[in-house]
Amino acid sequence: MLSMLALPLLAAVGIALLGRWPDLREALSITVAVTVAACAVALYPHVRDGAVVTWQLAEPLPGLPIMLSIEPLGMLFALVAGLLWPVTTLYSIGYMRGHNEQQQTRFYAMFAIALACTFGVAFAGNLLTLFLWYELLTLATFPLVAHAGTDAARRGARTYLGILLGTSIGLLLFAILISYSVTGTLEFRRGGILAGHLDPAWAGLLLALFIFGIGKAAVMPFHRWLPAAMVAPTPVSALLHAVAVVKAGVFSVLKVTLYVFGTGFITESGAADWLIWFAGATILLASLVAMTRDNLKARLAYSTISQLGYVVLGALLVTQSGIIGGALQITMHAFAKITLFFAAGAILVATHKTEISDMAGLGRAMPVTFGAFFIGSLSIIGLPPFGGMWSKWYLGMGTIEAGQWLLLGVLLFSSLLNIAYLLPIPVRAFFGTAHDSTGHTGIHEAPTSCLAAMIITSLACLLLFFYPEPFYQLALDVSGGR
């Protein structure tokens, strides 16, 4: 556990020192990423078998320790981040060189620091530790969003920082202080800590402070930071959408729901009865906005906002299937969405095209890229034989268990919207006709490392359909199913 935090921080120092030697710098990045992934895989069976490990780092105030702890939900998040870090680093090498990006040493160093903060969020042992790593993750990713150094990049980064810090300090910190004042503790506990301490009449308001205060979950109306952050290089977008930031948000929502409130207290108090409709509205409205965007990364950004709503919905359903579906959505969406962003970046590197309307016929020149995009899209939609089906299946079952038939309709309709805004992209690319007379002649696939990364994540989308067991077992344990 500690090695997964320490190695990325040490790697950031090594990367900075090796800035003059790009090959060594990137070799170090890959080596550490693979090592951390191996640590996550090695840790998994111990957590699956019920091992509990805690580590107190400090106690700045009596009864308020900064501590790390391993439990199934954190293990699931850490496993996703650990497995996708080396793939994203492999992709970044081809992208950063192929696109001739500046400040590449800073990029790789901050990327490593961001992953360390991500593991800190995953292994946070109480609300205080979660808040500290959550804020550090925001600060660590700010330079990545502003990486290009243009006026647009600075504006996007300011929006990113302003909304995420504003919600966390103005709402999340307030919610944490209230929780401590009524319970005298900030620990995470199965069944929650609020029952018997907080008047059920106030539970909905406190839960709202947490849901909207965790701005990284991008629940509307606190979602604008995510499209604004699309000015970042594509590997950063992949980091934001699949590996770190948004997943830290929805992970935190699940963590608070299960270990601060507890499913029993939420059900008895009716705390989620009205908040759940914000998740449903986010799912539908973001999908509708995505359909209007011609810029590929903007469309994928609004798609992410919608897909995050599935996790929040699963948490607020507080049924066993809903929680399993929300936890699995963290995994399934991560592998599918990173594939889509990898494809978007490959298109930019190879063609400098960003608008979907300019991609007609491009699939014949870049079949691997658009084939990967097609596979990622099918997984996002939730069609077999791809992993995204399982999270959608359990979320649907969760709405039935809760008697929320209208929300089941929201899930089904949103899947149709997924088809409407994703599948036309590869169909246009493979079967459309280029607008100009060149027919995309002279255009080739992106660098080999970019293609390799896309192929790996595409195969993972398929593998997760036939072998979801490792993540399912963790999700089942989180839900209290064993």
φ, ψ of residue 187 to 5 degrees: the values are -70, 155
Helices in 49-150 by DSSP H: which ranges?
Answer: 72-98, 104-122, 127-145
Q: Looking at 224-233, 238-247, 373-382, 405-414, which range is the least confident one?
A: 238-247
Do 227 and 142 fall within a single domain? yes
Q: What is the pLDDT of residue 437?
A: 56
Residues 311 and 354 in one domain: yes
202: tokens are 């106030």
pLDDT digits (tens, 9 = 90+) for 37-86: 999 999 999 998 888 788 888 888 888 899 999 999 999 999 999 999 99
Q: Which of 249, 273, 297 is the last residue of a domain?
A: 273
How far apart CA 22 and CA 16 sit, in angstroms, is 11
> Are residues 282 and 234 located together in one domain of the fold?
no
Q: By mean pLDDT, which of 7-11, 193-197, 233-237, 444-448 is the weakest?
A: 233-237
Q: How confident is the model at residue 436 (pLDDT cuts 50, 70, 90)?
A: low
DSSP one-letter code for 41: H
Cβ burial, residue 235 (10 Å; 0-12/13-18/19+): buried
Q: Quick one: 256 and 302 in the same domain?
A: no
User: What band does 103 get if pLDDT is binned at 50, 70 and 90?
Assistant: confident
Q: Collapse the DSSP code of 262 into the 3-class scheme (helix H, G, I; strand E, B; otherwise coil) and give the result.
A: coil
Asked if the model's pLDDT at residue 356 lies above 80, the reply is: yes
Q: CA 315, CA 311: separation in Å to the nearest integer?
A: 6
Q: Can you tell me the distance from the alpha carbon of 461 to that of 463, in angstroms, rounded to the nearest whole number?
A: 6
Residues 269 and 287 in one domain: no
**In this structure, are residues 124 and 78 in contact, taking their beta carbons and an 8 Å threshold?**
no
pTM of the model: 0.94
N-to-C CA span, the chain: 24
pLDDT of residue 236: 76
**pLDDT over 70 (residue 453):** yes
Tokens 């009716």 -> residue: 270
Looking at the fold, whether 395 and 304 belong to one and the same domain comes out as: yes
- Of 273, 305, 330, the residue at which a domain comes to its end is 273
- Residue 353 · residue 440 · CB < 8 Å: no
Distance CA 318, CA 279 (A): 13
pLDDT at 440 over 70: no
Residues 6+ apart with CB under 8 A from 277: none
Question: Percentage of the chain surpassing pLDDT 90?
Answer: 68
279/250 same-domain check: no
Q: Of 273, 303, 320, at which residue does a domain stop?
A: 273
Rounded CA-CA distance 148/430 in Å is 32
pLDDT at 335: 95
Alpha carbon distance 221, 399 (integer Å)? 23
Q: Does residue 311 sit in the same domain as residue 255?
A: no
One domain, residues 160 and 259: yes
pLDDT at 481: 57
How many domains in the chain? 2
Domain range enclosing 169: 1-273
Same domain, 350 and 245: no
The Cα 138–Cα 161 span in angstroms is: 7
Cα distances (Å, whole numbers) of residue 188 to 10, 14, 254: 29, 35, 12
152 and 7, same domain (yes or no): yes
Cα separation, 155 vs 204, whole angstroms = 34
Within this chain, do residues 200 and 235 fall inside the same structural domain, yes or no? yes
* 284-316 per-position pLDDT tens digit: 999 999 999 999 989 999 999 999 999 999 999
Q: How far apart are CA 190 and CA 188, in angstroms?
A: 7
Residues 336 and 310: their CA atoms lie apart, in Å, by 15
Q: Please provide the average confidence, as pLDDT, over all residues in the chain.
A: 91
| Alpha carbon distance 313, 272 (integer Å) | 10
